[in-house]
Amino acid sequence: MSKNVSWDEQGNGDARGEWGALDSAGRKLDLAHWQSRLDELRAKHHVPAASLAILVDGAVHELASGVLHRGTGVEATTGSVFQMGSIAKVYTATLIMQLADSGQLDLDAPVVDVLPEFSVADPELTRAITTRQLLSHTSGLTCDFTYDSGRGDDCLAKYVEAAGGVALDCPPGEALSYSSIGYNVLGRIIEVLTGKVWDEALKDLLLTPLGLDHTMTLPEEALRFRAAMSHLGEPGQDPDPAPSWDLMPRSAGPYGRVIATAGDLARLARMHLAGGVAQDGTRVLSEETVALMQRRVVDSPDKWSVSADGWGLGWTLYDWNGVQGYGHDGASIGQYGYLRVVPSAGVAVALLTNGGGARELYAALYRELLAELAGVTMPDTFAPPAEPPVVDFAPLVGTYRREGVVITVTERDGAGHMVYEFVDGMKDFSEALEIDLVPVTETVFAGTGVGAAFSEDYMPVIFSALMDGTGCVYIGMRCGPKVA
């Protein structure tokens, strides 16, 4: 257990070692209890280290537990920084909305109006893609395109050029398909309109105004602080340190590499909860723009992979039995982050981890925290019913494909089976996965035997259709159209 606990109240400083605090509404927040639960659940689920920040009515309370590196035994503190993976997309979206606020960017204009060099595999569809679609993952651009364009300041320009020939998951505007390419294109838009590389624009336009001095993008910056090491291993066991601290190229920044403390992540959420105003009164976003980011653009056919009921402009949107919320998840090859915000209660919770059963830790801890602080009842963990329904699987049989992945669905002895194979630039990511499909509904299945590559328990597999009737399958929020 870490004894390094911090609390900042309305900007009035930092109190280390406090075990109880009053938020600005006068409610008692039992930090000793939550420290104990964090310690207990972290150990139970074999998570080496976890950092937790709780924002209640403007006050940020920070807790830490465990070790940053199981090989060295260095303790986690509230000042420790973690890789946050796709939570970086929230930062990129916020920067884009600042540019829209200032009139520099029309969200509904074609991307090629700002980036003439932007293209997709189908030239006719290139001009159809807008910035708004990139923000809401409705552009059709795919996710799993990995390309190391080097460490230079031109890495994003090179990445966008290299992605020009990648096939779309689906036509623009037709469906949600989670896209990292789309967020790198947004990063490049930021560079062109600000005249700064994405990293510098992030610091100047967002991190500095918000006072986020424990947030960064590059490894050499992270070395100023205690940095969490990634850990990898089999579910249910203590994981081992990964071969490298960071396996992502610099070009992953806009979609996947912001490094921060849990407290700094909660402070970003505080600005959004405050209608776009920083704690010192600086306006970062207009109130109208903050609300627009939280407005649902598209429903999610996959409500389980990241608990997404829908998507706004950068935010994942949640509906907890009528209580609305927003946030984002992130994964960075052994490090996992979770942010949930409940506007009606003025509450945000940020959890950063460095391996093990992080998703199970998140689910158990957030279920308790959000129930007590915000009256939220989170859904049960995704799993098939005790008596799965009988479904006609024949219409779902076939081959589905998106960039980097081929999915072959067959029927074996009346039951569904799937082979998930990595191809193209993803071919060395993992061996092909053999997955049994247990029915949840006629179109939703629980995939078994997946392991840590996707989830700790069952992997949601959702069959749907595009507007033209083409069948598709959703795995990990990614749309794979049927090709045979």
Residue indicated by tokens 């600000």 = 194
Phi/psi zone of residue 236: left (φ > 0), alpha (ψ -120 to 50 degrees), beta?
Answer: left
DSSP characters over 177-236: ---HHHHHHHHHHHHHHHSS-HHHHHIIIIIHHHT-TTEESSHHHHTTS-BPPPEE--TT
Beta pairing partners, 406: 401, 421
> How many whole angstroms separate alpha carbon 264 and alpha carbon 267?
5
CB 99 within 8 A of CB 105: yes
Three-state DSSP class for residue 340 = strand
Verify whether residue 86 is a known catalytic residue.
yes
Distances (CA, A) of 183 to 94, 99, 145, 429: 12, 15, 12, 22
Residue 461: count other Cβ atoms within 10 Å of its Cβ.
Answer: 28
> How many whole angstroms separate alpha carbon 383 and alpha carbon 448?
10
Expressed in percent and rounded to 5, the helix, strand and coil fractions of the chain are: 30, 25, 45
Three-state DSSP class for residue 6 = strand
> How many whole angstroms separate alpha carbon 294 and alpha carbon 285?
13
DSSP characters over 82-111: EE-GGGHHHHHHHHHHHHHHTTS--TTSBG
Q: 223 — phi, psi (to 5°)?
A: -70, -10
Choosing from 65, 86, 119, 455, which is the catalytic residue? 86
Q: At what angle do helices 88-101 and 180-194 cross, to 10 degrees?
A: 40
CB 54 within 8 A of CB 42: no
Write out the two tokens for 429.
């990511």
> How many whole angstroms separate alpha carbon 353 and alpha carbon 80?
11
DSSP 286: -
Q: Which residues contact 423 (CB under 8 A, 6 or more apart)?
A: 404, 405, 406
> How many whole angstroms separate alpha carbon 87 and alpha carbon 325?
16
Active site residues: 86
